[in-house]
Amino acid sequence: MTTKKYLADRFLDDTYSEETRRHVLTLTIARLTSNACFRYAPPFLASISDDFHISLSRLGLALMITEIAMGISPVLGRLVDRLHRRTAMAGGLLAISGAATIAAASPSVWIFVLGILLIAIAKFIFDIGLASWVNDHVEYEKRGRVIGITETSWALGLLIGVTAMGLVAAASSWRWGYAVGAISVAVMALIVMTRLDGHDVAGSQRSRETVKPKMPLNGYWIFGAMFFLMAASQTLFVTFGSWLEDQFGFTEAGISAVVFGLGAFELLASVTSARRTDTWGKERSAIFGAALIFPAGLLLTVGHNNQVTGLILLGIYLLGFEFSIVSMLPLAANLIPASPGRGLGIVLAGGTLGRASMSLIATAAYDKFGINVPAFIGAICAAGMIGCIVAYGRTTQRAA
């Protein structure tokens, strides 16, 4: 019987490098705390907008500005490629902690917006460092499983992180939720700094080549796919908390309970994707996830008045998103093999633009029409994402 040296050995056999098996769970927990800070605001936008005495659509405009500012992500990707992986990840986590503190203490909506902008930038630095670290240590054919493990942090950030922060908010205010998040991320930054090897610089050396690698033209189909996928998720994520509060009288504690359930749906998607994406194929798996979003969004446009039906459809919608995003990330990180941070940065810029557009459009549509219009827009965005992935597959086959 083989002795399991690391906890990750339950999920990864010895064909994966020891460095991967030793650190992947630590990095997943670190990403859980960063995702909790990043995902905390949208479910509680109604409470935040009330505190600042502004409308939901005006807060959505502020969120759009932060997302547009994240258009610098391709530049950040190049910069992170030059950093040691440990430096990028630990530095990103410390910056998230500081930014969450700014958001918690913000005296005005614009200081709050600055805080969440800095959270997004710092989280991007951490995420690029993590994705590049995975690229350094895991072969492309096996990355789906490892990225699937790290991506459980997206669901767990909602299931554990945002739920805990929301319960703190219910007992005090949304500001103390951010304070708890800031402390958690700071602790994980120290752990990452002390546990990871400082000499882990494989990617840094590669990124200093004199010839700057370029994004292949068909890679911009993945850019478009990420735009539509993130747009689809944002349409409901910035509106479902207000919908539950306005239509069914949910409190912050009730929304936290829903967030817990949605996190469970997303975790199921992450685990399934980790197990199946490498076998089914990354493109096919991404399409499968979007194919769940499309009908769930359409059905929610007519079933939003029923609480049970609406929550089930919302869960399926976000499950499809999680399955799709986990399947797409290995594609994005491999578009420019010599510079994974740059390739992923370009693709995530597409996702940022998708979120930016829907931060304004979805909140304004909700204020005027209710949840049915954002749900319909999300379904259309999912169809656009499927079209982009199909086009990418066809152009790749022709190039081969």
Largest CA distance in the chain: 63
Q: Is the pLDDT of residue 283 over 90?
A: no
Of residues 71 and 393, which shows the higher confidence score?
393
pLDDT band at residue 399 under the 50/70/90 scheme = low
What mean pLDDT do residues 40-63 have? 86
Pair of tokens at residue 214: 């370029």
Question: Which of these ranges, 4-13, 152-161, 305-314, has the smallest mean pLDDT?
Answer: 4-13
Q: Which residues contact 180 (CB under 8 A, 6 or more apart)?
A: 164, 165, 168
pLDDT digits (tens, 9 = 90+) for 224-239: 999 999 999 999 989 9
pLDDT band at residue 204 under the 50/70/90 scheme = very low
Nearest Cα neighbor of 132 from 361, 345, 364 is 345
First vs last C-alpha separation in the chain: 44
Q: Is the pLDDT of residue 60 over 50?
A: yes
Q: Is the pLDDT of residue 334 over 50?
A: yes
13: enclosing H helix or E strand: none
- Average pLDDT in the chain: 86
Residue 208 has what pLDDT? 46
Please give the CATH superfamily to which domain 18-200+212-399 belongs.
MFS general substrate transporter like domains (1.20.1250.20)
pLDDT band at residue 393 under the 50/70/90 scheme = confident
Phi, psi of 11 (to 5 degrees): -115, -25
DSSP character at residue 213: P
pLDDT band at residue 200 under the 50/70/90 scheme = low
Contact 157, 36 (CB under 8 A): yes
Q: Is the pLDDT of residue 206 over 50?
A: no
List % helix, strand, coil for the chain (3-state, nearest 5). 85, 0, 15
Of residues 140 and 317, which shows the higher confidence score?
317
On the CB side of 297, how many CA atoms lie within 13 Å of its CA? 28
Indicate the pTM of the whole model.
0.76
pLDDT digits (tens, 9 = 90+) for 97-137: 999 999 999 999 989 999 998 998 899 889 888 988 888 88
Q: Which amino acid is at 332?
A: A
Domain boundaries defined on the chain: 18-200+212-399
pLDDT band at residue 198 under the 50/70/90 scheme = low
Residue 71 has what pLDDT? 64
Residue 11 has what pLDDT? 76
DSSP character at residue 172: S
Q: Which amino acid is at 262?
A: L
Q: Residue 12 in 3-state DSSP? A: coil
Pair of tokens at residue 205: 């050396």
Residue 356 has what pLDDT? 86
pLDDT band at residue 273 under the 50/70/90 scheme = confident
